[in-house]
Every structure is written in structure tokens, then in C-alpha cells.
Amino acid sequence: MTDPSVKRAFKYRFYPTDAQAAELLRTFGCVRKVYNLALTARTEAWTRQERVTYNQTSAMLTAWKKTGELAYLNDVSSVPLQQALRHLQVAFTHFFAKRARYPRFKSRKKSRKSAEYTASAFRFRGKQLTLAKMAEPLDIAWSRPLPEGASPSTVTVSQDCAGRWFVSLLCEDASVGSMPATERTVGVDVGLGHLLTLSTGEKIANPQHERRDRARLAKAQRNLARKVTGDGANRAKARRKVAKVHARIADRRRDHLHKLTTRLVRENQTIVIEDLTVRNLLKNHNLARAISDVAWSELRSMLEYKARWYGREVIVVDRWFPSSKLCSTCGSLQNRMPLHVRTWTCGCGVTHDRDVNAAKNLLAVGLTASVCGAGVSPQRGTPGGQSAMKQKPLRHEP
């Protein structure tokens, strides 16, 4: 079912004035400082087997502002600082629920530069967004319109490693759920030679965004490696050039995945995919670069949240299901299926394309599990109690 009150973040690039950039950079530094101070206090309490709540860290923030050493915290808006404490509280909540690791300290060089403003710390009228402690509105490039009549509840300002500034507006989107229902279903098999293979027989090529910019990235990295280690201006400039190449690759990859997942969600009521442990696959150092470039985890995440928005269903099949070795026509299971085998003929006489056959099997088992109201159980039964793990075609095909 769709949620009519779903909130979406609309991200835009903006171009701050020198004064605005200085204010935001100062705010980023204060947010990082408050987060690290609160994390230190909570860690010390944790060693004493005590728990510190958000209200206690909020009281600590008030005390910190009154000290001479941290008086500069009064120079920025208090709202982003309070939001940093709330984010830390959420991190600890996930940690205690065993959903995440213990929170880590924010680094000045490596951590994301961002600050979150709630409604009391900004003014939004028309297309004019003015943040607290600023006299002028931000110069935002409105690349797409906000939902009609929408008013942001929170605003997040950030700067990426390439020096670009972004503002994200969280708004309620009433257009979610307006997509008409359809009877179409599809199974999706992921790979490296082809990004996706559908049960319909369609194969979607792998754009290989990182490979296309590999020479440019290598040149920028060599230039950075020649710079003297430290905080020099030349090294910072070279670092930004490397970051710009990475940002170009990531932007193109994300744009392609958004278009692809939106198309799949629009065309199909049910989408069946396979549960892959990408973290374990990345341990293969010969293929880690290619696996990272296809971004299977991001693809799945986009499919899942867009399906929730528009009333679609995403079914995830267990990773041990032998979809490549199972004949989609007669159901017989092959003993072996080496990775170099791209087509094979079953004993029933049907010749299969490996990837298309896998997608058809994923669709069939996913729909069966959906009808039965149960998940897809792992497929066991190889000699010695070992798992009948699906053999993925992980060759990197140019």
C-alpha cells in the first residue's frame, strides 16, 4: 500500500556568496565539534556502564557555550547543533538495537560536511530560502519544481568533496501513489557483462561509468600523489580535481540507475530480485572495482523505496537459490555450471541463455513465495551439508 503522506527530499545545487560560504563552513565545523564532544561524553559514560540521553547532551551543549574555550558555538545557529545531537541519539539507538556499529567520530577531512535546519531556523517563501544568521536568500538552481503547495519541514545544506554546494528540502509529496496498477511482473538478474537481464529476455548493458573515466581519474590521482603531504594549497587543489572526477562518475551512475529503476517500477507491478551480499563479493579483489561500479546495493535500494511510494511489490529471493543451474522449463537441476558457460542445453532439449534462464527462475520462485505468503527458503542439499550456492557470472566483460 502507498503512503499518501510520504516525505521526499528534493536536492538542488546552489551558489553561495562569500559571506554565506564562510557562515556555512563555520556551521559545519561547529556541528562536527558538538557531535564529537557529545560522542566523547557518551563514550566515557559507556565505559562506566552509564547511559547518556539526548536531553543530557542538550544540557551539556548549553554549558559548553558558556565556557571561554567553546564560546564560538554561539556565533552559529543553535538549531544545526541540536540536530547533530539528535543524529547522535539515532546512531546510538541503532547501535543498541544491533542494527549498526558503534558511532564514530567525525573527521575534519573525511566526514561529510552538512548541517540540518528545522522550520524555526529558515524562511521559505516562493522560491526564496533564507537560513538563520543570513541576510540574503540562497542562490538555488531550481532544476525541477517542488510539489505544488509543498513547504519544506527540514533543510539540509551540504558541501561535497568536489567543493559543490547542495541544499536538500524535505517535503510531503501528494503525487506519490498516483501510478495506475498493472498486471505485469518481471524477474531481474544482475551481472557485470550486462547490468540487468530481465525474464522477458531483455538485456540492459553495463555503462561502465568508472571505466570510461579511468584514464582521467588515474591522471588526477598521479598528480595528487606528487604533491607534498600536508595542508598545502596545491595539494588541496589536486585533491579537489580527483574528487571532481569521482563526482562525475557517481552522478552519471546515479542518474542511470534512477532512470532504470523508475522504468521498472512504472512498467511492472511485481519485481523479483536476488539477495546478494555485495560486501562479501567485494572481497574478490580482481572484481571489486567492477562490482563497485555497477552499484547493485544502490539499485536494490532505489527499487525498494520507489516500490513503496507507488504501490508496487519487490520480492527478494534467497541468495542460495540456484537460479543459474535450474532449468526454467522442466525444473531439473544441473550438477555444475562453470562461470564461462553462457548458454547450455538441458536434458529436456531446451537451450538456455544463462542469465535469461536465471531471471525466469527468480520470477517463478518469487511469485510462488508471494502467493504462499512465505519467504523463499534457502536451497540446501549438496553433499556434506554445503549450500547449493548460485554461481554468478562475475567475469568482467569489456
Look at strands 7-14 and 113-118 and give their pairing.
Answer: unpaired
Q: Are residues 159 and 275 in the same domain?
A: no
Extract the C-alpha cell encoding 152.
Answer: 519544506
Q: Are residues 69 and 94 in the same domain?
A: yes
Q: Are residues 103 and 24 in the same domain?
A: yes
Which DSSP letter does residue 77 get?
A: -
**Mutual angle of helices 18-47 and 78-96, in 10-degree steps:** 40
- The verdict on whether 251 is a catalytic residue reads no
Q: Are residues 274 and 145 in the same domain?
A: no
Residue at 120 is within a domain = yes
Amino acid at site 16: P
Q: How far apart are CA 27 and CA 157, in angstroms?
A: 10
**What number of other Cβ atoms are within 10 A of residue 105's Cβ?**
11
Q: How far apart are CA 117 and CA 24, in angstroms?
A: 12
Domain that holds residue 259: 185-206+254-372
**pLDDT reported for residue 191:** 87
Residue at 82 is within a domain = yes
- The verdict on whether 298 is a catalytic residue reads no
C-alpha distances out from residue 141 to 13, 58, 145, 168, Å? 6, 35, 11, 12
Q: How far apart are CA 321 and CA 254, in angstroms?
A: 29
Q: How far apart are CA 23 and CA 135, in angstroms?
A: 11
**pLDDT reported for residue 380:** 35
Q: Are residues 292 and 143 in the same domain?
A: no
Q: Are residues 285 and 160 in the same domain?
A: no
Residue at 391 is within a domain = no
In sequence order, what are the beta bridge partners of 171? 8
Residue at 221 is within a domain = no
- The verdict on whether 75 is a catalytic residue reads no
Residue at 142 is within a domain = yes
Residue at 121 is within a domain = yes
Active-site choice (274, 275, 293, 397) = 274
Residues 321/365, Cβ–Cβ less than 8 Å: yes
Residue at 51 is within a domain = yes
DSSP state string for 5-18: T-EEEEEEEE---H
**pLDDT reported for residue 4:** 56
Q: Return per-residue pLDDT of the chain as tens, 398 residues.
A: 445 568 889 999 999 999 999 999 999 999 999 999 999 999 999 889 888 999 999 999 999 999 999 999 999 999 999 999 999 999 999 999 999 999 999 998 888 999 999 999 999 998 899 999 999 999 999 999 888 878 899 999 999 999 999 999 999 887 776 678 888 999 999 888 889 999 999 999 999 999 999 999 999 999 999 998 887 899 999 999 999 999 999 999 999 999 999 999 999 999 999 888 887 788 878 888 888 888 889 999 999 999 988 889 999 988 888 888 888 888 888 888 777 778 878 878 888 888 898 899 899 888 887 656 544 443 333 333 333 334 344 333 33
**pLDDT reported for residue 266:** 92
CATH number at 367 reads: 3.30.420
Residue at 28 is within a domain = yes
Number of domains making up the chain: 2
Active-site choice (116, 189, 210, 293) = 189
Q: Are residues 49 and 90 in the same domain?
A: yes
Q: How far apart are CA 269 and CA 272, in angstroms?
A: 10
Q: Are residues 195 and 328 in the same domain?
A: yes
CB contact burial 37-55 (16+ within 10 A = b; e otherwise): bbbeebeeeeeeeeebebe
Q: Are residues 262 and 153 in the same domain?
A: no
Q: Are residues 133 and 275 in the same domain?
A: no
Q: Are residues 21 and 121 in the same domain?
A: yes
Active-site choice (116, 173, 293, 355) = 355
Q: Are residues 143 and 189 in the same domain?
A: no
Check the CA dihedral 164-165-171-174 and report its sign.
negative
